[in-house]
Amino acid sequence: MLERAKELLEETIAFVSKDAQQIEEFRIKILGSKGELKKLFAEFRNVPAEQKKEFGLVLNDLREKAEAKIAELKAEIANSEGNTSQKREDYTRPTNLNELGSRHPISLVKNEIIEIFKRIGFSVSEGPEIEDDWHNFSALNFPPEHPARDMQDTFFVEKDPDIALRTHTSSVQVRVMENSNPPIRTISPGRVYRNEAISARAHCFFHQVEGLYIDKGVSFADLKQTLLFFAQEMFGKETKIRLRPSYFPFTEPSAEMDVSCSICSGKGCNVCKYTGYLEILGCGMVDPNVLENCGIDSKVYTGFAFGMGVERITQLKYNVNDLRLYSENDKEFLDQFKGSF
């Protein structure tokens, strides 16, 4: 008898179910009016006197445990039902998370360039991507035989009068000079087009930020100081710059600017081709002819201009060695810039 009672106690402790019917069957089996507990109590008088006490304790324990277990399992069922109905109505629960996008590296670097020049008082000006000959070439002192005026180098939309996709954002600066009076301090970010075969090192479109500063007494020293400030903000305080004489139709004198290689700190590596320097932009003093073309008195005002390719700066900052990556929409490439703003 005692053995049977202990067995049932163990069974009760081990019993689990989420099914209301099974729980009720279990209740009837143990606690029902014809259940096991009743039967065992009926046997009480047949139990040897020395076992009576223990037997009584086990039976009481069995009743308590069975009642508690059944109450517990029923409560669990009620709870989980409550939860599911709550879930349906809880509008504060988070939905599926949207995947976070990323800014394009060209936008990141373009914005950084704009921020740097904004800090020293440059405004931002924009203009049309389809330009007439005057704003893209003639006002900027391009001679009639200049190769950029050729179909080989420029995408023409119309000939006579010539309308083309702008080849640089200097065209925006012409518009600013025509429409405002000095002092002028502005940068022109934007997309430009050139008729090039697409490869790792050249593309038929890219992005520029060009700058223009016109006032009384602006000198080459101002140009150099402004560009040094830019280079050190962009590539780090220890960056050095180097200006090499060059030629552009719209500036005189003209120069190309190199920055010390940020990869080898100027010691020489395969990125800077062991020169320690990397070319990043063209610049110069605005040619007096250009000022006059745009209605600015070149005897009173002088100015400097510069222009850089955003892809080139991005290449140096993020070590991207193939220009085509920027326009292929490769998700793995773009994902690398997640979280940058």
Residue choice 117, 142, 230, 248 for contact with ligand PHE (CB under 6 A): 248
Beta carbon nearer to ligand PHE, 190 or 282: 282
Binding mask 61-100 for ligand PHE (x = CB under 6 A): ----------------------------------------
Beta carbon nearer to ligand PHE, 26 or 306: 306
Q: Which helix (H) or strand (E) holds 193?
A: strand 184-193
- 3-state DSSP helix/strand/coil percent for the chain, to nearest 5? 45, 20, 35
Side-chain-side CA neighbours of 172 within 13 Å: the count stands at 27
Rounded Cα–Cα distance for residues 166 and 192 (Å): 6
By the rule CB under 6 A, 168 interacts with ligand PHE: yes
Residues 223 and 285 sit within 8 Å (Cβ to Cβ):
yes
Residues 280 and 316 sit within 8 Å (Cβ to Cβ):
yes
By the rule CB under 6 A, 170 interacts with ligand PHE: yes
- Report the residue number whose CB is nearest to ligand PHE: 307
| Helix/strand/coil for 243 | strand
Beta carbon nearer to ligand PHE, 165 or 305: 305
By the rule CB under 6 A, 164 interacts with ligand PHE: no
By the rule CB under 6 A, 282 interacts with ligand PHE: yes
By the rule CB under 6 A, 251 interacts with ligand PHE: yes
Residue choice 174, 290, 305, 313 for contact with ligand PHE (CB under 6 A): 305
By the rule CB under 6 A, 190 interacts with ligand PHE: no
Give the Å distances, CA to CA, from 247 to 84, 204, 251, 260, 315: 76, 23, 8, 22, 24
Residues in contact with ligand PHE by the rule CB under 6 A: 168, 170, 210, 248, 251, 282-284, 305-307
